[in-house]
Amino acid sequence: MKKYIKNFSLEEVEQIFASINEKSYRAKQLFNWLYERNVDNFNTMTNFSKKLRQYLTDNYEISALQLIDRKKSNCDGTEKFLFATHDNHFIESVFIRNDGTDEGRLTICVSSQIGCPMGCTFCETAKIGFKRNLECAEILDQINKVRQLTGLKNNNIVFMGMGEPFLNYDNVMKAAAIMNYTFGFHISVRKITISTCGIYEGIQRFIDEKMPYNLAISLNDTDMVKRSRYMPVEKKYPMQNIIRLLDVKFPVSRNRVTIEYVMRKDNISEEDAQRLKSMFKYNRIKLNLIPLNKGKHNMEIPVEEEINKFIKRLEIMNIPISIRKSAGSDIDGACGQLSGRHYL
């Protein structure tokens, strides 16, 4: 069975080429073809000999995903893509033309797992359960395919699609490194955000290994009893332990940690605001407030007046606060709406 060439780092490709007596610089040329020029056929690589092209064709595959469906929002131009994997599972990726905070931002929201094991009650991905981790090639191919289909080059990546990235740590970090390569996708580390619902060991490893990417943590409740009801991860990895870890280990020199907070009708009270103010060191965080999106849940969605009152209560924190626009909600492409379901 052929291997996916996008599963290999630059160093690994250099080793492959060395084993067949090819110069190491060919690896950078290959990466340029794969990620900058975005080709899906080895025979297109005209600066390679016919023999090398044949070797690559005989032993490796370029594309790891197949497009099944594509939907475009009538509200904001957001696009959602449904892809099939080689073993007949389905994942979704979202292309957002801007997120309401930066008019020049082109973001691809990528998935890291097929399904998700975390069981968050407000998330549609959780309802399909966990199937498996995505390979590095399947993560990267989401970007390749979206760029091919839209004709646009994104300048921002968020690991906020299907799955928990820190439960697929090695493949996610390998893919993020390739995204950052100057001869690959060439996306700044400051434009790559990895989001977690709170996997303690993953956060600790991320900090210890000095990963340069932005870190986002989904909080969503200040009452930890309530959080454990909506987010079962709280039972295994209490948020208070993660907060202590950040206080001790997270470097002051780093970008602030983004705290993501999905606003429901029952978690934006004055008490919630007061607890949120006391939980974190102000110089370490920024808040990303996300209005709850429609889904197959029984939670009440707050009205604009309630959201504005909550924001006003938080202003005293004197930290960056952003409201994430619900891009693609009319095509089930917004936060918490991805399901990877293939509707025939």
Residue 129 is which amino acid?
A: G
Query: In the prediction, which pLDDT does 296 show?
Result: 56
CA distances from 343 to 4, 183, 218, 318, 340 (A): 28, 38, 29, 46, 9
290 three-state secondary structure = strand
pTM of the model: 0.93
Give 238's strand partners: none
Q: Is residue 335 annotated as part of the catalytic site, yes or no? A: yes
Domains and CATH numbers, the chain: 3-61 (1.10.150.530), 66-331 (3.20.20.70)
Residue 92 is a catalytic residue: yes
Contact between 315 and 103 (Cβ < 8 Å): no
Beta-carbon count within 10 A of 131 CB: 19
Backbone angles phi, psi at 285, to 5 degrees: -130, 160
pLDDT at residue number 101: 53
- Catalytic choice (116, 120, 136, 335): 335
The predicted-structure confidence for 145-177, as pLDDT tens digits, reads as follows 999 999 999 999 999 999 999 999 999 999 999
Low-confidence ranges of the chain (pLDDT < 50): 343-344
Give the model's pLDDT for residue 344.
40
Whole-number Å distance between alpha carbons of 274 and 222: 9
List the catalytic residue out of 61, 79, 92, 124. Answer: 92
